[in-house]
Amino acid sequence: MVELLEAIARGLGQGSLYALLGLGFVVVYKTSGVLNFVQPALMVLGAYFASALAVDAGLPFALSFAIAILATALLAGAIERVALRSLVGTSEATAAIVTLGVFVVLNVVAADLIGAGQRTVGDPWGLESFSIGAVTIFENDAARVVLAALAVGGLALFFARSRTGLAMRASAFSHEAALAQGVPVGRMIGLAWMLAGALGALAGVMAATGGGGFDQTLALLALKALPVIVLGGIDSIRGAIVGGLLIGVAEACCKTYQPEHASWLGANFDQVLPYIVMLAVLLVRPYGLFGTPQVQRV
């Protein structure tokens, strides 16, 4: 029982991370229909900025964290302005390939900045843990849950209450309709990118907490978010969160039990599991748990 509860706790921590990674993809997809391959690089650069400020420059963790989020958001906004603004309204697949080109460039830059070896972000949690009854929980897992909840809460408020949030939702609904109401759709997409940058940096820093820090190979981790967002429904913020937590917990349980009890499934089966969970959900609900069904007009 303790083992199961601990696995669930770790799964929730990891799942919060996946949820944030997923949200980064979702905000851009929702407003522009583009699968953003730059997101992995934004995540890595966010972690790097925090690391450079907290460890190399010796700033307090919270301050470096905040600056890293801001810097990554600005960078994301700049990328959108330079590379993608002119593609609004053309093929979304083409835009996705453009983001891939940007990723190739940024990935080399990020790898060079990170350099050889491990980096840390100077987080206060490290390997500390606390206990609830017999269940031991790592502080960084708890921190991931709390920070993800704060970020998601903030995002929800922003979309529900602010005028800009409303305008973004309008652009997500329909570019033409939004333009007709005087919403600057291009700028809204830029804003979505900045949000994605901020979420990416947040996820990057969280991914870097825990035992061994992070290194040049971190970028691939962002792809963990893809089954998450499809499972949840690709245009749904709620979906990304539920999907992230679901897959985080499923994965943690698989890691804990599959090697002992179902070893015939092969080594590292947990890498395939998210896609199997995703497929199972899609067979029942083709637009994910919370996605908007696309109504086809004749």
Partner 1 sequence: MITAAWVRRAAAPLACAATLAACGADDKSGSSGDVMFDNGVTNEPCPEAKNPGNGCIYLGTISDLSEGPFAVVGVEYTAAQKDFWDRVNEDGGIGGFDVDVVKYTRDAKYNPEEHVAKLREIEPHVLALAQSFGTPTTLAGLDIMKRANLVGNGATAWSGWAFEDDGLVLESGQSYCVESLNGLDHIAEEFGEPKRVLAVHFAGDFGGDAAAGAELWGARNDVEVTTLETAPNAVAGSQDAVLAAIRRRQPEVVLVATGPAELGEIVGKAVAAGFEGQFVGSSATYGPSLLKTPAGPALKARYRYVGPHAPYARADTGAHRAMQRARADKLPQSAAYAGGWIASYPLRRLLEQAAKKGDLTRANVRATVQDVTVDYEGALPPRRFGRGGATIERQAVIATLDDEAPLSTRIIKDVFVGSTAKDVTIDRACTADR
Partner 2 sequence: MRRWWLALLLGTLLVLPLWLDRELNTLMATLFVVAIAAIGLDILTGWCGQVSLGHAFFLGIGAYTAAALGGDPAGRVVGLGLDMLVWLPAAGVVAAAVGVVVAPLATRLGGLYLAIVTLGLVLVGEHLFREVTSITGGAGIGRPAPDLVLAGVDLDRTSSLRGIVSLDREMKLYLLCLALLVALAVIARNLTSSAVGRAFAAVRDRGAAAELVGIDLTRHKIVAFAVSSFYAGVAGALLATITGFIEPRTYGLLYSVEFLAVVFIGGAGSLTGVLLGAMFVTLMPRLVQELPSVLPFVTSGSSADGFPSTFQLQTMIYGALIVAFLILEPRGLLGLCRRARGHLPDWPLRH
Which residues would be at the binding site for partner 1 (CB under 8 A)? 3, 7, 10, 14, 18, 55, 104, 107-108, 111, 115-120, 126-129, 136, 138, 210-221, 224, 251-252, 255-260, 267-268, 270-271
CB closer to partner 2 out of 211 and 266: 266
Residue 230 near partner 2 by CB under 8 A: yes
- Which of the listed partners (partner 2, partner 1, none) does 181 bind, with a CB threshold of 5 to 8 Å by partner kind? none
CB 38 within 8 A of CB 99: yes
**Burial bucket for residue 116 (CB in 10 Å: 0-12, 13-18, 19+):** exposed
Instruction: Compute the distance between CA of residue 201 and CA of residue 195 in angstroms, rounded to an integer.
Output: 10
- What secondary structure letter does DSSP report for 295? P
Minimum distance of partner 2 from residue 2's CB (angstroms): 30
| Residue 236 tokens, joined | 């749904």
CB 28 within 8 A of CB 13: no
Minimum distance of partner 1 from residue 65's CB (angstroms): 17
Residue 269 near partner 2 by CB under 8 A: yes
Residue 293 near partner 2 by CB under 8 A: no
Q: For 75, what's the count of Cα atoms within 13 Å in the CB-facing half-sphere?
A: 24
**Coil, strand, or helix at residue 132?**
strand
| Residue 142 tokens, joined | 């708890």
**Coil, strand, or helix at residue 11?**
helix
- Which of the listed partners (partner 1, partner 2, none) does 98 bind, with a CB threshold of 5 to 8 Å by partner kind? partner 2
Instruction: Compute the distance between CA of residue 244 and CA of residue 19 in angstroms, rounded to an integer.
Output: 4
| Residue 286 tokens, joined | 């083709």
Minimum distance of partner 1 from residue 258's CB (angstroms): 8
Residue 279 near partner 2 by CB under 8 A: yes
Minimum distance of partner 2 from residue 167's CB (angstroms): 24
Residue 282 near partner 2 by CB under 8 A: yes
Phi, psi of 137, deg, nearest 5: -125, 130
CB closer to partner 2 out of 123 and 235: 235
Tell me which stretch binds partner 2 (CB under 8 A): 48-56, 107-115, 121-129, 145-153: 107-115
Phi-psi region at 213: left, alpha or beta (left = phi > 0; alpha = psi -120 to 50): left
- Which of the listed partners (partner 1, partner 2, none) does 250 bind, with a CB threshold of 5 to 8 Å by partner kind? none
| Residue 267 tokens, joined | 């080594």
Residue 74 near partner 2 by CB under 8 A: no
Minimum distance of partner 2 from residue 82's CB (angstroms): 9
Instruction: Compute the distance between CA of residue 188 and CA of residue 30 in angstroms, rounded to an integer.
Output: 11
Binding site for partner 2 (CB under 8 A): 29, 35, 37, 83, 86-87, 90-91, 93-95, 97-98, 100-105, 108-109, 112, 223, 226-227, 229-230, 234, 266-269, 271-272, 275-276, 278-279, 282-283, 286-288, 291, 294, 296-298
